[in-house]
Amino acid sequence: MKKVLSITAVLLVAVLAMSLSACSTANEPVRSTEGSGTFYRVGISQLIQHGALDAATQGFKDALTEELGDKVIFDFQNAQGDPNTCASIANGFVASKVDLIMANATPALQAAATATAEIPVLGTSITEYGVALGIENFTGTVGGNVSGTSDLAPLDEQARMITELFPQAETVGLLYCSAEPNSLYQVTTVASHLTEAGLEARMYPFTDSNDLAGIAALAASEVQVLYVPTDNTVASNTGIIDNIFRPAGIPVVTGEKDTCAGCGVATLSIDYYDLGYTTGKMAARILRGEAEISSMPVEYAPNFTRMYNPEICEALSLTMPQDYTPITD
């Protein structure tokens, strides 16, 4: 009898161990490494929440879901505007061995590129990869484990927009966050075109959202037109700019649609959803082994649209040319 009980006890322990093992793995996703398993895990690091970046993330997810269906699982992380948090997010993705990282905005890309040289990293909403990653004489292909898409609009055409819409303006302010290198690149380029056109271009750098209002107020007292680039800190604080420049009767020209919707009168803008969608298509090719990221050139937005903000234009008694499309959302 004791022998029978002993055998029974052993069997019960074995069954219990198998049950516990099954329970411990049932709640854990089966991660695919290099596309060999059940699904792909994709980490998304977004610098901050605002319309343009949100649209790019959604486009990325939609494209990748269309391509891979339920074989892709997203781990979305928002850094709340903090580059240090971007670094923590990227290191977390590396530790959990995701199959690919999508980095939305320059600080997210810089953090991901620093965190790993092995996991594919695709950037989006990046203005200039050479500036973002410190690559001299950038020719369009980053190499290594990094590629992505750029939101760079024709800066010469944005400068020309200012001179065409406001021919009486003599001084143009350029407001940007000094912590964003791609913002400096944009305003420097636009300033050179404005100077060539005979206008005075004044730079107004601010450190973060805490000193934005003070710098913006200074600019409003000194310029006839303001230009703001595709700057994430500006995009997250358009209300501050609008509350200063609209009452002052000073028009603001912006680098993209969502910033224009918040504080601008006109823009030459890309579609950020389309940009993210293109990035998602790139990710699908990488994950399926159809393309090698080291040889993938950065892709650029194919279309740009002249747009205007009807509400602010009406408040400033401005009439836009017929080839400008109204921003309705």
- The H-or-E segment that residue 46 falls in is strand 40-46
> Of 282, 260, 278, whose CA–CA distance to 326 is shortest?
260
Spatial separation of the C-alpha atoms in residues 154 and 297, rounded to whole Å: 19
pTM, to two decimals: 0.81
24-28, 99-103, 272-276: range with lowest mean pLDDT: 24-28
Say what percent of the chain tops pLDDT 70. Answer: 89
Number of H helices, E strands in the chain: 13, 13
Convert the pLDDT of each residue in 255-289 to its tens digit.
999 999 999 999 999 999 999 999 999 999 999 99
- 93-113 burial: b if 16+ Cβ within 10 Å, else e: bbeeebbbbbbbbbbbbbbbb
The terminus-to-terminus CA distance of the chain in angstroms comes to 80
Residue 216 has pLDDT above 60, yes or no: yes
| For range 86-105, the mean pLDDT | 97
SS3 322: coil
pLDDT band for 184, please (50, 70, 90 cuts): very high
Tell me the average pLDDT across 85-90: 98
DSSP state at residue 99: S
- The amino acid that residue 74 corresponds to is F
Half-sphere exposure in the Cβ direction for 248 (13 Å, CA)? 21
Give the closest residue to 165 by CA, choosing from 246, 270, 304, 267.
Answer: 267
Q: Extract the tokens encoding 20.
A: 């516990």
Distance, CA of 56 to CA of 295 (rounded, Å)? 23
The pLDDT-based confidence of 34 (bands split at 50, 70, 90) is: very low
In this chain, the answer to whether the domains covering 40-151+271-297 and 155-269+305-326 adopt an identical fold is yes
Architecture of domain 155-269+305-326 in CATH?
3-Layer(aba) Sandwich (3.40)
Query: Could you tell me the residue ranges of all domains in the chain?
Result: 40-151+271-297, 155-269+305-326
Region 107-119: mean pLDDT is 97
Higher pLDDT, 37 or 249: 249
Q: What is the DSSP letter of 80?
A: T
From the candidate CATH numbers 3.40.50.2300, 1.25.40.10, 3.40.50.11890, 1.10.3720.10, the one assigned to the domain spanning 40-151+271-297: 3.40.50.2300
